[in-house]
Every structure is written in structure tokens, then in C-alpha cells.
Amino acid sequence: MAKVFLVLATVVGVALAVLLIAVSGFLFGGGPQSMNAGPLAAVAYGAAVIACVAAPVAGFVLNSRGKTGPGLLVAWLPAIVALVLTAMPAPY
């Protein structure tokens, strides 16, 4: 049963990474709709994309070593963080 949740976490993590890549032009592009974010934001954004893909891999590794609970938590961490950030109010 844990493998099913790990596969679901992988699908969700890859979907989050694709979403982040798809909307990156609105943050870092040069058009009039862009926020023209700085280089530090670009590094943090890249780290978030990498974390969305690496967390499920780490979850599978932990599961294969017999640590199913922490593996599931690590695998679902990008989705949990995304939900928490979505629930936060806008800073304006």
C-alpha cells in the first residue's frame, strides 16, 4: 500500500514541477505581465522545482531501507508545502 502512495506522490510532485515551469515566464520573463524577479528568486524557484522531483525519489529510497513512514512524509512534502503556501493570505 505504501508503494501506491509513493507513486501518487511522484505524480503529484512531477505535476507541481511542471506547473512551476509553466508559470515561470510570469515571474522571470521580460514581458509586460512579468514580475521581473531577481536572481535570488530564480535560484529559489529552481530549488523548488528540483525539490518537487527529488522528494519522491528520496521517499522511495527511504521506503526501500525500511523507513516507510518517513519515506511517505518526505515524498508528500512538496504537496504539503504547496497547500500551506496556497492557504496563506496575499501579502498586500
How many CA atoms are closer than 13 Å to the CA of 72, on its beta-carbon side? 9
Domain assignment present for 35: yes
- Based on the structure, what is the number of domains in the chain? 1
| DSSP string over 26-89 | HHH-SSTT-----HHHHHHHHHHHHHHHHHHHHHHHHHHTT-HHHHHHHHHHHHHHHHHHHHSP
Q: Model-level pTM? A: 0.85
Range of the domain at 27: 2-86
Residue 90 DSSP one-character state: P
Q: Is residue 91 situated within a structural domain?
A: no
Please tell me the predicted confidence (pLDDT) of residue 69.
96
Rounded CA separation 16/78 (Å): 8
Residue-wise pLDDT tens digits, 9-30? 999 999 999 999 999 888 887 7
